[in-house]
C-alpha cells in the first residue's frame, strides 16, 4: 500500500519526511504463537481509525512529516534480513530521518540497531520486553527472536542496553545480565509496586544521550495487548509504558525505534489499535521535542 493510504491519508514524500516507517512482515523463528508477519498490515489498517491529534502534547504528530515505505519482505533467515534493513536504515539516517520499523518478529530489530550504532557510537538501547532475548543461540540460529539483543551487544558501539518489564528469564539470559556491565535490567516484579516516577528516573539515568527504542508488545500486560506471541502476565500498564517512553524521548535524543511482535486476533482489533496508538504516541513525543 502507498503512504497516502495510511495514517489518516497524510503520508508525505520520503524526501520531505522527518520520520520514516518501514513495515517488516517477517516471521521465521517464532516458537509459540504464529502470526507476527500479519502485524504490520494490521497496525497500519488500525491507524486509519485513530485520532491524529495528541492531547498530551497538543500536537498533530503527522504535521512533522511521516512517510510509510513499502513493506520489506524476506524469505531468508534473520541475518539476511538484518543486512537488508541495516542498509535501508543507514540511507535514511544519513539523510537525517528517524526510522521506525513495524514488525514482525523481534529479530527484525538487529539491522536497524546496527545502522544506528554505526552512525551514533555510544548509543543506548531501551528495550521494553517480557524477555531479555540474550541467548547466544536458540532453536538452531544465533539470529532469531530469542537472540536479538545478544547480537546487538556484539557491537562495541552500543554503550548500554536498558531492558524494562522483564519477567520471563532463561538461565543464559541471567548469566549475560550478570556478567555484561552494559546491561541494566528492570524486572517487572521489582518495579510493580514502586512509584513509576522513581524507576523511570533510574531508567533515564542509565541511558546515554542517544537512544534507540525497541518495543516488544509483550512488554505490556496482556490485558492491554493480548495479541502477541507470548502474552506473559504481569507486564507494564499502558500509562506507565507511555510515561516511560515520553520521559526518555523528552530527556534523550531518539535516533530510531521499532514496535514488534503484534499478532492480529480477528474479529478483535484491540491489539492492532493499541499498537497503532503506540506508534502515534512515539511520533507525538518525538515530534513535540
φ/ψ (deg, to 5) at 197: -60, -30
pLDDT, tens digit only, all 289 positions of the chain? 333 335 544 567 888 899 999 999 999 877 778 899 999 999 999 999 998 899 999 999 888 899 999 999 999 898 999 999 999 999 999 999 999 999 999 999 999 999 999 999 999 999 999 999 999 988 778 877 889 999 999 999 999 999 999 999 999 999 999 999 999 999 999 999 999 999 999 999 999 999 999 999 999 999 999 999 999 999 999 999 999 999 999 999 999 999 999 999 999 999 999 999 999 999 999 999 8
Give the residue among 19, 251, 228, 23 at the shortest CA–CA distance from 129: 228
Assign 88 to helix, strand or coil.
helix
In this prediction, residue 29 carries a pLDDT of 77
Distance of alpha carbon 212 from alpha carbon 196, whole angstroms: 21
- The answer to whether the CB of 274 falls within 8 A of the CB of 238 is yes
Q: What is the CATH number of the domain that holds 83?
A: 3.40.800.10
Give the residue among 134, 137, 232 at the shortest CA–CA distance from 183: 134
Distance of alpha carbon 215 from alpha carbon 161, whole angstroms: 13
pTM: 0.94
In this prediction, residue 16 carries a pLDDT of 87
Assign 28 to helix, strand or coil.
coil
Grid look-up 539476511 returns 80
In this prediction, residue 93 carries a pLDDT of 96
Span between the terminal Cα atoms of the chain, in Å:
30
Distance of alpha carbon 23 from alpha carbon 102, whole angstroms: 5
In this prediction, residue 11 carries a pLDDT of 63
Assign 141 to helix, strand or coil.
strand
- The gap from C-alpha 153 to its chain's centroid, in whole angstroms, comes to 16
In this prediction, residue 144 carries a pLDDT of 75
- The gap from C-alpha 16 to its chain's centroid, in whole angstroms, comes to 23
Count of domains observed in the chain: 1
Sheet strands side by side (includes 183-187): 66-68, 19-24, 98-103, 253-260, 210-216, 123-128, 158-166, 183-187
The H or E element containing residue 101 is strand 98-103
The DSSP letter of residue 154 is: T
Domain enclosing residue 51, as ranges: 3-288
Distance of alpha carbon 231 from alpha carbon 49, whole angstroms: 25
The H or E element containing residue 43 is helix 39-47
Give the residue among 229, 260, 253, 248 at the shortest CA–CA distance from 109: 260
Amino acid at each position: 500500500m502507498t503512504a497516502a493510504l495510511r495514517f489518516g491519508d497524510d503520508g508525505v514524500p520520503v524526501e520531505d519526511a522527518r520520520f520514516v516507517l518501514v513495515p517488516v512482515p517477517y516471521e521465521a523463528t517464532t516458537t509459540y504463537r504464529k502470526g507476527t508477519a500479519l502485524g504490520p498490515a494490521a497496525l497500519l489498517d488500525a491507524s486509519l481509525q485513530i485520532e491524529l491529534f495528541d492531547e498530551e502534547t497538543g500536537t498533530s504528530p503527522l504535521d512533522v512529516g511521516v512517510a510509510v515505505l513499502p513493506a520489506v519482505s524476506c524469505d531468508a533467515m534473520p541475518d539476511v534480513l538484518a543486512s537488508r534493513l541495516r542498509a535501508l536504515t543507514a540511507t535514511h539516517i544519513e539523510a537525517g530521518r528517524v526510522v521506525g520499523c513495524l514488525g514482525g518478529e523481534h529479530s527484525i530489530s538487529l539491522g536497524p540497531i546496527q545502522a544506528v550504532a554505526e552512525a551514533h557510537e555510544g548509543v543506548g538501547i531501551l528495550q521494553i520486553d517480557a524477555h531479555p532475548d540474550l541467548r547466544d543461540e536458540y532453536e538452531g540460529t544465533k539470529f532469531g527472536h530469542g537472540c536479538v539483543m545478544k547480537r546487538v551487544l556484539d557491537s562495541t558501539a552500543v554503550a548500554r542496553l536498558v531492558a524494562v518489564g522483564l519477567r520471563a528469564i532463561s538461565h543464559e539470559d541471567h548469566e549475560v545480565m550478570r556478567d555484561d556491565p552494559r546491561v541494566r535490567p528492570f524486572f517487572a516484579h521489582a518495579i510493580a509496586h514502586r512509584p513509576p516516577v522513581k524507576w523511570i528516573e533510574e531508567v533515564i539515568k542509565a541511558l546515554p544521550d542517544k537512544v534507540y527504542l525497541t518495543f516488544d508488545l509483550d512488554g505490556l500486560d496482556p490485558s492491554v495487548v493480548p495479541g502477541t506471541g507470548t502474552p506473559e502476565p504481569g507486564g507494564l500498564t499502558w500509562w506507565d509504558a507511555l510515561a516511560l517512553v515520553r520521559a526518555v524521548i523528552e530527556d534523550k535524543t531518539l535516533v530510531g525505534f521499532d514496535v514488534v511482535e503484534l499478532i492480529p486476533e480477528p474479529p478483535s482489533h484491540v491489539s492492532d489499535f493499541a499498537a497503532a496508538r503506540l506508534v502515534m504516541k512515539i511520533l507525538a513525543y518525538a515530534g513535540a521535542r
